[in-house]
Structure 1
Amino acid sequence: MRIVKVLNKVDTLYSRKVHQNLPVSQLIEMAVTRKEAMLTEQGALHAYTGEFTGRSPKDKYIVKDSSTKEKVKWGKINQPMSQQTFDSLYQRALEYMSEREIFTFDGVAGADPNHQLSIRVINEFAWHNLFVKQLFIDQNVIDSENHKPDFEVVCLPGLKADPIADDLNSETFIAVSFERRMVLIGGTAYAGEMKKSVFSVLNYLLPFEGILPMHCSANMGDSPDDVALFFGLSGTGKTTLSADPERKLIGDDEHGWSDNGVFNFEGGCYAKCIGLSQEKEPQIWNAIQYGSVLENVAIDEDTRSLKFNDNTHTENTRVAYSIEKISGAVTPSIAGHPKVIILLTADAFGVLPPISKLTKEQAMYHFLSGYTSKLAGTERGITEPEATFSTCFGEPFLPLDPNVYAELLGKKIDDHDVRVYLVNTGWSGGAYGVGERIKLAYTRTMVRAAINGDLEKVNYNQDSHFGLFIPETIAGVPTEILNPRHTWENKNAYDKKAQELAERFISNFERFSNVEPEIKKAGPQIKS
């Protein structure tokens, strides 16, 4: 049964209002009137998400049924839920909605009309409905007269599970049923769960069509064929580096790569705000305006001014805004095949070079490894950077075996002769707590040099610990920071820390037993 049919029944039997596809102005008015949120001096809507200020990966489930049993890579990331439990939660969701006003949003995920997922999102909060209106592609934009959703997302923060009776980890749940074509979210008000649930659905469906779903941002130059992709986990710089005033933004977080090129999954952006300044990130700063939605940013409730450097509530402060708020953004968000791929990492060990050129085999190795440091606030319980490996730079959102995505990427790199670089936006001169974060201005300069082809004209030295190729010079960047060993006062300490990280890479990669030997050899090797 489709939720839309249920909603009509609820509306009739209980005389509760179903607000369908309200405009921005009405959603803002209702969110403020219902005391869900407040307006800031910039005109953006501001809300707190309560206990949950980041995703809750331990509470994410996929229904194990005949369609998913043999396809999903089951484990800690993709936890199975029984059909019985999902049905029970679904019935409770219907009862819960029958007693409340609810809001619906109809739209699509996927800017390419040949590869779109039609979605309907149902919310109990007006500000949540405004959030999805900013993040996904509105039905009015796609001019759809009769919207028939392929997938439905039901988000009810006030509905909680019974951990014992439902055999779940907590009262919170993010449950996906591919057979029912539905996502149920309860017990958390963190809006990012809706966004990432749709991404997870696309990560399951699209590879079967030969399309690579990617946790990456993308931008382009004056030509649709001048495309760059930026892979990386939250907080590594995808949004910041792709929002380049000198290039056109395609999208800041999630894309597909088909035989025709790259397309954005979303119609908006979801940027981190901690430490945001107009000087360093002008495009994001200027996007905080009427219609945008702020989460957990510290605010002066008297003046309604925002305090971007205040992490009182969380480091994971966010703003959601329509991509049209970025000057010069590509709309519709479709472009050609990329010529450059940037793999982003925030290295808390402080030993990876700020930029290095990768061979195709090294690119596959580092894509599968997905090394970075989880940054504070992006998940519950993370209070300082923590070294981690997240396959394909998006393991929490990958229902299928990682090799499915890696093989697709490798084929496309070969087919389109793509240059690949590893960029460290983390620490230099020492590990976290000793060294300093690499300056954004330097990173921007290095990335631009990679995209415009300047790094094809310089000499490289091969790093002895990781086998990475480090450029000797880059115009506008101090030469001494290019080789991380040179930034450490104690060179022996650097070698020790680098070897420690290399051993972690090797240990992590042991789980990929079925990769080609040349890919395995492209990573760091154990030193005698």
Structure 2
Amino acid sequence: MVDYKSLIDELVGKEDSRKQLTSAQLVEASIRRGEGRLTETGALTANTGKYTGRSPKDRFVVEDSVSQNKVDWGSVNQPISQEVFDNLFKQVMNHLNRKEEVFVFNGYAGADDKTRIKLRVINEFAWHNMFARTMFIRPQTKEEGLEIDPEFTIVSAPRFKANHAVDGTNSEAFIMVSLEKKIILIGGTEYAGEMKKSIFSIMNFLLPEQGVMSMHCSANVGENGDVALFFGLSGTGKTTLSADPHRDLIGDDEHGWNADGVFNIEGGCYAKAINLTEEKEPEIFNAIKFGSVLENVVLGDDNVPDYDDNALTENTRAAYPIDHIPNARIPSKAGHPKTIVFLTADAFGVLPPISRLNRHQAMYHFLSGFTSKLAGTERGITTPQPVFSTCFGSPFLPLHASVYANMLGKLIDKHDVNVYLVNTGWTGGEYGVGRRMDLTHTRSMVRRAISGELELNEFQKDPIFGLSVPVKVSGVPTEILMPRDAWESKEAYDEKANNLKQQFIDNFKKFGDAASEIEEKGGFTA
């Protein structure tokens, strides 16, 4: 039997274990060890090798006494035996014990004191520990951090490669979650985002059991306390649209919703950096300074980041502490939402740029979770691909989708929330023919939705999808509001739109009778 705690305590207690280092110390260690370089603004930049995005086929949940009857097993939550986990854990610990240095960070997940969990992150790389320090909630003092008795521990050893033929993995990489032992074991991949998303999966398991909704969304709040949530998969605009200079940022990716309101799960932001400009996204651009981490961003002359260079990947990333955003809400909590925005990057180019959803349509689109996987967010994705990701976050949901959907439906009803579907993808044609939605137009539509201005507008019904589309929006060209008008070939639009409609219908069949009322009243067969 493996004594997990003793092995971890022994590793952490070694003289060469670097515990609770500051950003400056971790930057120094990263450069000394040849892991990264500093940009002209002081951000640390590192490359992740061939793993430039999440590796979902290499993610497993240990089938044990805690997970066995609760986890929604399948292609997302792949089961792995305790024996396989134990064997790899011992190998990884031996690997780390041979290292001259390991790096340890203790912190928290969850800005709400009643539901936060205490974390420990053990890293082979100094820059990974810097990432953890950036993305999770940092203790107020070093002494506080050292005294944390962790409830969950991440052990990350990127240079340990599994022998999949012997070790029971699918490849050299593995991300294994043990809910019983409260350990996340990562090896073979240098992509730092695996740590962040593994803790999000843990919170998605724990929070609903406490009656708290867990959400893959960003959130901000206006001066009058009007909270807005932005649901969406990576690359759909959560981080970009929530970073609004006129509103306080609560968080950019992961939140909980309890009896008091909304709270951030993290202490940092993780933005896509490809094609980043100060003109279009000033808050994010200026947040990338000392204390931030860039992944796979090519540096040009004088160590200036070239955000347009996708030579390493389309999925270039910037991780920065939330307080690098001048208008961040600290602590990262606010009241109940007034507006919810579902974000989709429609590669077909047939969904309206904004449409209002009634309660049943909101549930339909939440369960459908339609978007397009954008290049680089997962291994092997090089062009946008249409995908249905339940609850706009199925890769991170250990419980059945109905748990999250039912909780959201009740909260929408209880707090009388307005819900909108916003297409940040293509218009005037599909990917490769049309063009990406103009960010200034999207911002204008979203701001008017949040302010309540759109509720006073006249709406027209989209004939194919049955969505309520505003007749006009100030500052937005009228011809893009109804997507068919933006296409040169109306016949081509009709064909693509009906094709996507059928994909929605086919996808929803997997929910069966449990969601029949939602499909009847909110779906495209209505």
So what's the TM-score if we normalise by structure 1? 0.97
Q: Which runs of 4+ in 1 moved over 4 A?
A: 1-5, 141-145
Residues 333-377 of structure 1 show CA distances to partners (whole Å, capped at 9, x for unaligned) of: 000000000000000000000000000100000000000000000
State the match for 2:423 in structure 1: 424
Q: Contact 2:465–2:501 at 8 Å: present in 1 too?
A: yes
Name the stretch that deviates more: 101-110 or 162-171. 162-171
The question of 1:61 aligning with 2:57 is answered no
The question of 1:119 aligning with 2:122 is answered no
Alignment of 1:101-500 (within 5 A): 101-140=101-140, 143=144, 146-223=147-224, 225-300=225-300, 302-500=301-499
Q: CA 1:84–1:440 in structure 2 vs 1: closer, same or farther (change >3 Å)?
A: same
Separation (CA, whole Å) in 2 of partners of 1:494 and 1:328: 41
Separation (CA, whole Å) in 2 of partners of 1:17 and 1:48: 25
Classify the secondary structure of the residue corresponding to 2:208: helix
Q: Contact 2:161–2:187 at 8 Å: present in 1 too?
A: yes
Separation (CA, whole Å) in 2 of partners of 1:404 and 1:22: 39
Q: CA 1:482–1:17 in structure 2 vs 1: closer, same or farther (change >3 Å)?
A: same
Classify the secondary structure of the residue corresponding to 1:113: coil
Structure 2: runs of 5 or more not aligned: none
Classify the secondary structure of the residue corresponding to 2:302: coil
Separation (CA, whole Å) in 2 of partners of 1:304 and 1:4: 43
Separation (CA, whole Å) in 1 of partners of 2:188 and 2:80: 17
Q: Contact 2:336–2:415 at 8 Å: present in 1 too?
A: yes
Amino acid in structure 2 at the alignment position of 1:485: R
Separation (CA, whole Å) in 2 of partners of 1:255 and 1:457: 30
State the match for 1:521 in structure 2: 520
Classify the secondary structure of the residue corresponding to 1:513: helix
Classify the secondary structure of the residue corresponding to 1:470: strand
Separation (CA, whole Å) in 2 of partners of 1:270 and 1:366: 25
Q: Contact 1:3–1:152 at 8 Å: present in 2 too?
A: no
Q: Contact 2:361–2:523 at 8 Å: present in 1 too?
A: no
Amino acid in structure 1 at the alignment position of 2:299: I
For residue 145 of structure 1, report the CA deviation from its aligned partner: 6.6
Amino acid in structure 2 at the alignment position of 1:257: W
Residues 428-473 of structure 1 show CA distances to partners (whole Å, capped at 9, x for unaligned) of: 0111111111100000000000000001111111111111100111
Classify the secondary structure of the residue corresponding to 1:103: strand
Separation (CA, whole Å) in 1 of partners of 2:190 and 2:172: 13
Separation (CA, whole Å) in 1 of partners of 2:178 and 2:162: 17
Q: Contact 1:372–1:388 at 8 Å: present in 2 too?
A: yes
How many correspondences in the alignment?
523
Separation (CA, whole Å) in 2 of partners of 1:99 and 1:395: 37
For residue 3 of structure 1, report the CA deviation from its aligned partner: 6.0
For residue 514 of structure 1, report the CA deviation from its aligned partner: 3.6
Q: Contact 1:10–1:16 at 8 Å: present in 2 too?
A: no
Q: CA 1:522–1:141 in structure 2 vs 1: closer, same or farther (change >3 Å)?
A: farther
Q: CA 1:456–1:141 in structure 2 vs 1: closer, same or farther (change >3 Å)?
A: farther
Residues 62-103 of structure 1 show CA distances to partners (whole Å, capped at 9, x for unaligned) of: 001121111111111110000000011111111111111100
For residue 161 of structure 1, report the CA deviation from its aligned partner: 1.4
For residue 4 of structure 1, report the CA deviation from its aligned partner: 6.5
Residues 408-430 of structure 1 show CA distances to partners (whole Å, capped at 9, x for unaligned) of: 00000011000000000000011
Separation (CA, whole Å) in 1 of partners of 2:296 and 2:440: 27
Classify the secondary structure of the residue corresponding to 1:139: coil
Classify the secondary structure of the residue corresponding to 1:515: helix
State the match for 2:23 in structure 1: 24
Separation (CA, whole Å) in 1 of partners of 2:147 and 2:88: 29
Separation (CA, whole Å) in 1 of partners of 2:203 and 2:3: 20
For residue 522 of structure 1, report the CA deviation from its aligned partner: 3.8
Separation (CA, whole Å) in 2 of partners of 1:27 and 1:39: 12
Q: Contact 1:502–1:525 at 8 Å: present in 2 too?
A: yes
Separation (CA, whole Å) in 2 of partners of 1:308 and 1:188: 23
Residues 273-319 of structure 1 show CA distances to partners (whole Å, capped at 9, x for unaligned) of: 0000000000000011011000001112x521111101000000001
Separation (CA, whole Å) in 1 of partners of 2:497 and 2:302: 48
Q: CA 1:11–1:71 in structure 2 vs 1: closer, same or farther (change >3 Å)?
A: closer
Separation (CA, whole Å) in 2 of partners of 1:373 and 1:38: 33
Amino acid in structure 1 at the alignment position of 2:138: D
Classify the secondary structure of the residue corresponding to 1:114: coil
Separation (CA, whole Å) in 1 of partners of 2:334 and 2:510: 35
Separation (CA, whole Å) in 2 of partners of 1:52 and 1:3: 28
Separation (CA, whole Å) in 1 of partners of 2:146 and 2:54: 34
So what's the TM-score if we normalise by structure 2? 0.97
Separation (CA, whole Å) in 2 of partners of 1:371 and 1:67: 31
Classify the secondary structure of the residue corresponding to 1:497: helix
Identity of counterpart residues, as a percentage? 56
Name the stretch that deviates more: 246-255 or 15-24. 15-24
Q: CA 1:8–1:361 in structure 2 vs 1: closer, same or farther (change >3 Å)?
A: closer
Separation (CA, whole Å) in 2 of partners of 1:145 and 1:110: 19
Q: Contact 2:519–2:525 at 8 Å: present in 1 too?
A: no
For residue 326 of structure 1, report the CA deviation from its aligned partner: 0.1
CA RMSD in angstroms, aligned pairs only:
1.5
Amino acid in structure 1 at the alignment position of 2:198: S
Q: Contact 2:364–2:523 at 8 Å: present in 1 too?
A: no
Residues 108-157 of structure 1 show CA distances to partners (whole Å, capped at 9, x for unaligned) of: 00001011011000001000000010100012269567211110001110
Amino acid in structure 2 at the alignment position of 1:289: K
Amino acid in structure 1 at the alignment position of 2:285: W
Separation (CA, whole Å) in 2 of partners of 1:186 and 1:358: 43
Amino acid in structure 1 at the alignment position of 2:237: G
Amino acid in structure 1 at the alignment position of 2:263: F
For residue 6 of structure 1, report the CA deviation from its aligned partner: 2.9
Amino acid in structure 2 at the alignment position of 1:55: R
Classify the secondary structure of the residue corresponding to 1:413: helix
Separation (CA, whole Å) in 2 of partners of 1:419 and 1:11: 49
Q: CA 1:186–1:145 in structure 2 vs 1: closer, same or farther (change >3 Å)?
A: closer
For residue 518 of structure 1, report the CA deviation from its aligned partner: 2.9
Q: Contact 1:502–1:524 at 8 Å: present in 2 too?
A: no
